[in-house]
A and B are shown apart, each in its own frame.
Chain A
Amino acid sequence: MSGSANVVAMKKVVQQLRLEAGINRVKVSQAAADLQQFCLQNAQQDPLLTGMSSSNNPFRPQKVCSFL
């Protein structure tokens, strides 16, 4: 009977919602502060953010500089 299948499915939905409603949450201000801190702490080690100098650039073709 499809009615019982619907009930079982609905029961699953309710159980899932109960689970989700019960988790511990922190305030956005706290979470945001932590995200920001992570960014700032690692900013110097982020080559796309700070840029590479040509000597550090692993993609640089190995050209030899010669004086004519």
Chain B
Amino acid sequence: MACQGLQKGETLESLKRESETLKKKLEEERNKLNDVELHQVAEKVEVLSALSIKTRRVLKGHGNKVLCMDWCKDKRRMVSSSQDGKVIVWDAFTLNKEHGVPLPCTWVLACAYAPLRSLCLIMNGYLGLDNKCSVIPLSLDKNENLAAKKKSVAMHTNYVSGCSFTNSDMQLLTSSGDGTCALWDVESGQLLQSFHGHTADVLSLDLAPSETGNTFVSGGCDMKANVWDMRSGQNIQSFESHESDINCVKYYPSGDAFASASDDATCRFYDLRADREVAVYQKDSIIFGASTCDFSLSGRLLFAGYNDYTINVWDVLKGTRATILFGHENRVSRVRVSPDGTALGSASWDSTLRVSWSFSTGSNYIFRFIKLLFWVNSRLVLEFTVAF
């Protein structure tokens, strides 16, 4: 039996045995270095002061579930895609809708902004022939028929679940229900590299934040999170501790770790250099799956959107919940921190997007004081006019 790469005497049985031994060895190696828990190391860190993060803007305009949103690098524009078949570009300051792009497919799963030019990326997928990823160049001319300029870049054999431009606008990374991830050249649409290793649908991917940007992490229905080398296609590290589908993966800002959000109602934190899970963010009261997560700029906070309509904000170091954001009236499908870290954007099945930010408590008191002064002033004026 001529099988490539087989050593003499290797059979299915011997390979199975070796794989079992290797798996045990892997676990032993990882456990040897597990000398302390992250939250124990963080015991000496100051407890977070009460966060005053509140929803301050609600963007209405979609007619159906908002499935995805992303921030533009100019820090004020957001793009969102919805089951109503539209992609809208918003100005988050003025709440104006700058562009609305109608699409033939109603299941636009994701969208992303290109880093350099204002390229908006849209994905079509799910049923039928639409397992593609398309790119649309945005222009300021509102009369331009943007849908006509749509260009197909990626093609999978099943729905496309996630996408990201690489550090330049030239390449696109996609994840798919066909169990693979792929790297494409945007201009030619050519497949540059494919990544095999997941044994079920891949639901999410995230690029490592470094400028050299050579690795990315993916998570999927096989409950595994894999780290890949973009150039070689090699699966470098693999983490399997979730108990259900991983819906979202996101790198920690330093690039040395990543978080994942899962249907098992937990978010987990994995350190790449220690090669293991270092924290689990969970509460007995949280029983609904987490669909999305993102870090604040310093990595101290992890924002996670859940199917119980809430956004839980976790203290990454201590493992406790810092605060909870209410407001959405249906599942939270996406949370994203703005590029300068000032605001949190969230998209939901309730067809709205919300923008939340935090005021320092100092200015909170000043506002209240000024309001009080005006109130006192108006009361005094009233008293005087009545007297006279």
Q: Which residues of A contact B (CB under 8 A)?
A: 1, 3-4, 6-8, 10-11, 13-14, 16-21, 23, 25-36, 38-43, 45-54, 57-59
Q: Give chain B residues whose Cβ lies under 8 Å from the Cβ of A19.
A: 234, 236
Q: What separation, in Å, do the CA atoms of A40 and B215 have in the docked complex? A: 25
Task: Choose one: A23, A46, A51, A58; the contact of B297 (CB below 8 Å).
Answer: A46
Report if B117 contacts A (CB, 8 A): no
Task: Choose one: B4, B235, B358; the contact of A8 (CB below 8 Å).
Answer: B4
Docked-complex contact B36 and A59, CB < 8 angstroms? no
Docked-complex contact A53 and B271, CB < 8 angstroms? no
Q: Give chain A residues whose Cβ lies under 8 Å from the Cβ of B48.
A: 49
User: Assuming A32-B41, A54-B367, is B92 touching A59 (CB within 8 A)?
Assistant: yes
Interface size on B, residues (CB 8 A): 78
Docked-complex contact A7 and B12, CB < 8 angstroms? yes
Within the complex, what minimum Cβ distance (angstroms) separates B362 from chain A? Answer: 7
Q: What separation, in Å, do the CA atoms of A45 and B341 have in the docked complex? A: 9
Task: Choose one: B15, B30, B297, B317; the contact of A42 (CB below 8 Å).
Answer: B297
Docked-complex contact B274 and A4, CB < 8 angstroms? no
Task: Choose one: B15, B238, B361; the contact of A11 (CB below 8 Å).
Answer: B15
Q: Give chain B residues whose Cβ lies under 8 Å from the Cβ of A6.
A: 12
User: Assuming A7-B12, A20-B26, A52-B357, is B45 touching A29 (CB within 8 A)?
Assistant: no
Within the complex, what minimum Cβ distance (angstroms) separates B222 from chain A? Answer: 13
Docked-complex contact A31 and B360, CB < 8 angstroms? no
User: Assuming A10-B19, A48-B301, is B6 touching A29 (CB within 8 A)?
Assistant: no
Task: Choose one: A21, A23, A36; the contact of B45 (CB below 8 Å).
Answer: A36
Q: What separation, in Å, do the CA atoms of A20 and B366 have in the docked complex? A: 56
Taking each of B12, B237, B253, B276, which has the highest tally of chain A beta carbons within 10 Å of its own beta carbon? B12
User: Assuming A51-B52, A52-B342, is B271 touching A18 (CB within 8 A)?
Assistant: no
Q: What separation, in Å, do the CA atoms of A58 and B110 have in the docked complex? A: 27
Q: Which residue of B lies closest to A48 (CB)?
A: B296
Docked-complex contact A7 and B15, CB < 8 angstroms? yes
Within the complex, what minimum Cβ distance (angstroms) separates B237 from chain A? Answer: 7
Q: What separation, in Å, do the CA atoms of A51 and B23 have in the docked complex? A: 46
Task: Choose one: B234, B337, B361; the contact of A48 (CB below 8 Å).
Answer: B337
Within the complex, what minimum Cβ distance (angstroms) separates B210 from chain A? Answer: 13
